[in-house]
Amino acid sequence: MRVCIIYDCLYPYTVGGAERWYRKLAERLVAEGHDVTYVTLRQWDRGTHPDIDPRVRVVAVGARMALYARGGRRRILPPLVFGFGVLAHLLRHGRDYDVVHTCSFPYFSLLAAAPLQPRFGYRLIVDWWEVWSDSYWRDYLGRFGGAVGLLVQRRCVRAAQHAFCFSRLHAGRLAAEGMDPPPTLLQGAYTGTLEVAAGNGADPLVVFAGRLIPEKRAVAIAPAVELAASSVPGLRGIIFGAGPQRPAVLASIAALERPELMSAPGFVPGAEVESALRRALAMVLPSRREGYGMIVIEAAAYGTPSIVVSGSDNAAVELIEDGVNGVKTSSADPVDVAAAIIRIYEAGPALRERTRDWFARNAMRLSLEGSLETILASYAPDSARR
């Protein structure tokens, strides 16, 4: 089958759950014998081949450019450039594909691919990692910009497509927007190992790993660690990641009475993050907004429980069974996060065993391997699926 995957980022040049998903999906499909083209923006040095299985044909339809503004929001120019690039590519090569599989965000690539379906006859598969609420659009872009963003999102919802969602939260939002047919809930986005790590004790260490943007609320971690340190002997914290909130994170550490409790080394190799997760007491993710929360599963593979914050835009809470593989808090207030850290410490090795057991029971369901059959079924022509 001839498959075109469309996403404006490519792992490891941009790091995130969706980036890993699309790279692994492309590599898994070529391993199954499918012909795969990955359409993206160029993020690697000109004249070099991107770091991906060489059987995956990578097509850059736009030049390298910064995706985020200084404040952490997505810039508008790269999605527009990417959308026009996707349109031009499909006008030339649309007949070369049986399937076009795209991320809904940043929308303009979907708006380019959707109207060309009848002309070229490919099936359009769309992954909806998130569906933003009216209030979140206003918070993100202001009253006018948010209204425009909401209209664009709704136009994308109404495009003819086979839609996948990775959480009940966002599947419900698509259904509420009137998507017809309704989306398929595809929970398997995890791309790591399915084997449970051997049992190991935990160091008094709290780990955060992610892009340092306002929605992640990493600034709450340092004061929470200092509060919890009075009850957890030897407690330390590490904040991995880069982004526009890094100065604020460093300032939150400098403001501690004991700044030596925290470190923020920035962007580091994946092996260093994995090593920290393996020995950590807890992974803390105080995000306001998560489309999935893959790091919760990655931490659980090592028996490390997670702390997440309940909220209307946070789908990561769906991955937590409170007291089984982590703790849900009611807010990102350092007092609440500190209480969750202490709760995990007091639960001891038994919680780590429950976390490993949770991973063993759910890893296949939450993995790309567990989703592949459903994905391939969606690729088949209507007559074959009937």
Question: 87 and 28 in one domain?
Answer: yes
Per-residue pLDDT of the chain (386 residues; tens, 9 = 90+): 999 999 999 998 888 889 999 999 999 999 999 999 999 999 998 888 898 999 999 999 998 888 877 777 778 899 999 999 999 999 999 999 999 999 999 999 999 999 999 999 999 999 999 999 999 999 988 999 999 999 999 999 999 999 999 999 999 999 999 998 999 999 899 999 899 888 778 999 999 999 999 999 999 999 999 999 999 999 999 999 999 999 999 999 999 999 999 999 999 998 999 999 999 999 999 999 999 999 999 999 999 999 999 999 999 999 999 999 999 999 999 999 999 999 999 999 999 999 999 999 999 999 999 999 999 999 987 644 44
Beta carbons of 325 and 208 less than 8 angstroms apart: no
168 occurs within a structural domain:
yes
The whole-angstrom separation of Cα 191 and Cα 322 is 24
What pLDDT sits at residue 179?
93
Question: 339 and 209 in one domain?
Answer: yes
166 occurs within a structural domain:
yes
C-alpha dihedral over 261, 262, 268, 274, to 10 degrees?
A: 60
Q: What is the mean pLDDT of the chain?
A: 94
Beta carbons of 306 and 320 less than 8 angstroms apart: yes
Write b or e for each residue in 209-234: b if 16 or more Cβ atoms lie within 10 A of its Cβ, otherwise e: bbbbbbbbbbbbbbbbbbbbbeebee
What pLDDT sits at residue 372?
94
Question: 115 and 53 in one domain?
Answer: yes
Question: 217 and 109 in one domain?
Answer: no
Q: Which domain holds residue 261?
A: 205-362
Q: pTM value?
A: 0.92
Beta carbons of 3 and 113 less than 8 angstroms apart: no
What pLDDT sits at residue 197?
85
What pLDDT sits at residue 386?
44
Total domains in the fold of the chain: 2
Beta carbons of 100 and 90 less than 8 angstroms apart: yes
**Cβ neighbour number for residue 26 with a 10 Å cutoff:** 25
C-alpha dihedral over 294, 299, 305, 310, to 10 degrees?
A: -20
Question: 130 and 99 in one domain?
Answer: yes
What pLDDT sits at residue 382?
64
Question: 177 and 44 in one domain?
Answer: yes
What pLDDT sits at residue 92?
97
What pLDDT sits at residue 66?
85
Q: What is the pLDDT of residues 208-218, one digit of tens each?
A: 999 999 999 99
CATH number, domain of 183, equals 3.40.50.2000
Question: 166 and 128 in one domain?
Answer: yes
Question: 152 and 104 in one domain?
Answer: yes
Question: 259 and 374 in one domain?
Answer: no
197 occurs within a structural domain:
no
List beta partners, residue 165.
128, 185
Question: 135 and 48 in one domain?
Answer: yes
